[in-house]
Structure 1
Amino acid sequence: MKVLHVAASLNPAWGGPTKVVTELTEALAKKGIEVSIFAPLENSKEICIPKGVDVKLFPKGFLSKFWTSYSSSLAKALMKEVFDFDLVHIHEIWHHPHYAAYKATKLARKPFVITIHGALDPWCLNHKAFRKRVYATLIQKRILKEASGLHAITEEEVKSMSNFVNNQNIFLIPNGLNPEDFENLPERSEIELLYPGLKRKKVILFLGRIHPIKGLDLLAKAFGKLARTRNDIILLIVGPDNYGYAKQVKQMLKIEGVMDKVIFTGILTGHMKLSVLSRADIFVLPSYSEGFSMAILEAMICGLPVIITRQCNFPEVESVGAGKVIDPDVISLSKAMIELVDNPELCKDMGSKGKRLVMEKYIWDKIADQMIIAYEKIISGKIKELLSIESKQDKYLRKIFQC
């Protein structure tokens, strides 16, 4: 089987979709699938290249200022090479690469799958809403309707897809990670050499893009309520500032009077990211909208209790007792942080349950097997036979966590 993945970016600063594309394709390649990735070339040396995967990068054109990740050379290559593949897997919507891939697959009469990565959540639809409504009417709904399969990563995404477009070929397979990447975490004190302000503090970690969608305005105010009354905590904000939003977040923290208890590190990858995950005591992601956060999985496999909003679409965190799932408001966030900061035994229990959940259900090796089955059904025209692969797992997990 030969499968082509088309992505809007392979730059880690792009966020979760880049991580999913690279790690999923690498897992598929390990299982003998011939996998290629086509993506626009970013002006960065930090490009993720998965092992065993043929990656082709194409320069972005001037129109990328108006249509994200526009690349005429990528579109031409797709038109020429799409005939060599059995299936095309398109990642994200609204951007030029997904449109170019759709046009190429229609020309070649090849089946195609689309993973939207949370792009139909209410917050995302309301962001630049007028442009998206026009694009959806003219182009996007037709593409989704004609897709051979729509890949959802959460139950909420299944609902949002069903509400947005009439396509019954929706299948649910979650994201995952590679547990071996987290087997030997650095010593907790290692990151303190670079950031000595962390010494003898309880560390609350935010890991993700510094973007309005991530709820950092809520975090700034909630942390302010907590940090003004105590000196034993510190907030560590780790992630790229692609949109210049960090300046606004810092201003919020200054208004709260707690900027001296916050550290911004910028984007950290590899060993450095593992170092902050090792040193953190609590992970917080108060997003207004998420597809399926890879950062939550990373925090849980590192044994951290997590505080997330319902909009993170990860209800299992609450059902198995791995953390707190809250409404996106300052009071709920501040109460959850206080409870965890003051209860290390509860944090330890939540952390162990979260790690157990990830190991049972969210590992790329298992997920790649599920995806291969989905590909085979789609290529053979038997997607209607594709059952919800998670159903048996869910029953099994419920029994485990009730013990």
Structure 2
Amino acid sequence: MKNKRILIASWTFYPAWSYGGIARVMYELAAQYAKDGYEVDCISTDVFDNTTRHDKSEDTVDWVKIYYFKNLSNRLANKLKFPVPLGLKTRLKHNIKNYDIVHIADFRNVFNYQIYAQCKKHAIPYIVSPFGCVPYEMDAKFFIKKIFDLLWSKNMLKQAKYVTVQTQSEFDEVHKFWIKKENIKLIPLMVDYEKFKNLPARGSVREKYGISKDAKILLFVGRIHKYKATDMMIDCFFDYQKKISDSYLIIIGRDDGYENHLKQYVKELGIEKKVLFVWAIYYPENMNYYVDADIYFMAPSHREETSTASLEALACGTPSVVTEQADIPFISEYNAWSIVKFAREDIVQRLLDVQKKDSDSCKQLIQEHFDVKSIKNNFLELYF
């Protein structure tokens, strides 16, 4: 089976970490396949961050050959998550027949449509991992999503060999698209636990910001965007710090046009000295923040499914408190902390209930249920 050729199709990929967890997860998965002896290629786009494009058209990283296609507009890709790759269709027409399986990440976009169309034309089997992107939200892209679904994206799911989901709630959402239950496979999100075995010493972040060793630090890592319900996080922390005065909230992430609003809001609440904003940082630098934090905390109001950052925090031994919209399977069973309803009082109480870090339980949860070295085999069983 090792002579099988795998094509990973992800419009965000190495090294575009600012675009979130999909880029990291698909890279980790591809790298594991390559280490196991499979021939792995990846097609992606030239996105890098808010203002910059990736400067290479091809690269090889960890034995994975990567092809980057220039986007028609970096702004469209960055602000609206709408990649329009130039030249991709031509390459697919000539090369897609060389692959035994195609793994498509994300869901509704032109990049994925071109891949789906060529897979269908040349009878190449493919699987789709939507990463929580199936549900409709009442936002600016609601009608665009509806149009995409009418034209092709619903058929892309129906005709896939399998659709993989992270949680039971995502399973239910995908099933609403009339996808047969036997074609939906529940496979949790993943991290490479090996990278988190040698953690930095606790204290560097506290020393940097003048935070005492006994103070409580709540941490959020992700895009600073109104859809992340960052206002709710601020509100919950405002209540939390009334009960635990020696406490801080650190928000790490790229600004998607909402940071100034949040800074003004925390100033109005009078807690600007307790809420720290840090521009996006990535592995391994972010490990210092995970290790020094007492709780990883996120409270999205819309369905996101499992967050890569929450798994990284757990891998560093830091408990997570997240709302149901960002579910982490098995977390309560391991005393790694908790899933809570999207309600201010409930969230605050759950944060207050976390008395100490049970780091061993957090790490055990990741090792036993979310390590890429075991989860990759679940995908391989679907591929071939």
How does the TM-score come out when normalised to structure 2? 0.89
> How far apart, CA to CA, are the structure 1 residues paired with 2:290 and 2:74?
39
Match of 1:35 among 22, 35, 40: 40
Deviation at 1:286, TM superposition (A): 1.1
Code of the aligned partner of 2:97: F
1:1-400 aligned at under 5 Å gives the runs 1-10=4-13, 11-42=16-47, 43-44=52-53, 50-62=61-73, 65=76, 68-123=82-137, 128-168=141-181, 169-197=183-211, 200-228=214-242, 230-241=244-255, 243-288=256-301, 289-340=303-354, 343-344=355-356, 347-348=357-358, 351-376=359-384
> How far apart, CA to CA, are the structure 2 residues paired with 1:87 and 1:80?
16
SS at match of 1:55: strand
Deviation at 1:291, TM superposition (A): 2.7
Deviation at 1:126, TM superposition (A): 5.2
Deviation at 1:198, TM superposition (A): 6.0
Q: Which segments of 5 or more consecutive residues in structure 1 lack a partner in the other structure?
A: 377-403
> How far apart, CA to CA, are the structure 2 residues paired with 1:108 and 1:137?
23
Instruction: String of CA shifts for 1:254-302, please: whole Å, max 9, x gaps.
Output: 2222111011111111232011011111111112222321112111121
Are the counterparts in 2 of residues 326 and 333 from structure 1 also a CA contact under 8 Å?
Answer: yes
Are the structure 2 counterparts of residues 208 and 49 from structure 1 closer, same or farther at C-alpha, using a change threshold of 3 Å? Answer: farther
Instruction: String of CA shifts for 1:170-218, please: whole Å, max 9, x gaps.
Output: 1122221112211121121222453334665221111122122322111
> How far apart, CA to CA, are the structure 1 residues paired with 2:327 and 2:291?
25
Which stretch has the larger CA shift, 285-294 or 18-27?
285-294
| Moved segments of 4+, more than 6 Å | 46-49
Code of the aligned partner of 1:34: E
Which stretch has the larger CA shift, 83-92 or 228-237?
228-237
Code of the aligned partner of 1:3: I
Code of the aligned partner of 2:63: G
Are the counterparts in 2 of residues 22 and 50 from structure 1 also a CA contact under 8 Å?
Answer: no
Give the share of equivalent positions with the same residue, in percent.
25
Are the counterparts in 2 of residues 8 and 95 from structure 1 also a CA contact under 8 Å?
Answer: no
Are the counterparts in 1 of residues 29 and 376 from structure 2 also a CA contact under 8 Å?
Answer: yes
Code of the aligned partner of 2:35: K
Are the structure 2 counterparts of residues 239 and 319 from structure 1 closer, same or farther at C-alpha, using a change threshold of 3 Å? Answer: same
> How far apart, CA to CA, are the structure 1 residues paired with 2:269 and 2:170?
35
SS at match of 2:146: helix
Instruction: String of CA shifts for 1:56-98, please: whole Å, max 9, x gaps.
Output: 1011114973781101212221222111111111111111111
Are the counterparts in 2 of residues 145 and 166 from structure 1 also a CA contact under 8 Å?
Answer: yes
Instruction: Identify, as 1 or 2, the structure richer in helix.
Output: 1
Which stretch has the larger CA shift, 60-69 or 12-21?
60-69
SS at match of 1:72: coil
Q: Which segments of 5 or more consecutive residues in structure 2 lack a partner in the other structure?
A: none
Are the counterparts in 2 of residues 63 and 70 from structure 1 also a CA contact under 8 Å?
Answer: no
- Indicate the RMSD between aligned Cα atoms, in angstroms: 2.2
Code of the aligned partner of 2:70: P
SS at match of 1:272: coil
> How far apart, CA to CA, are the structure 2 residues paired with 1:117 and 1:150?
10
> How far apart, CA to CA, are the structure 1 residues paired with 2:332 and 2:186?
20
Deviation at 1:248, TM superposition (A): 2.0
SS at match of 2:176: helix
> How far apart, CA to CA, are the structure 2 residues paired with 1:221 and 1:204?
13
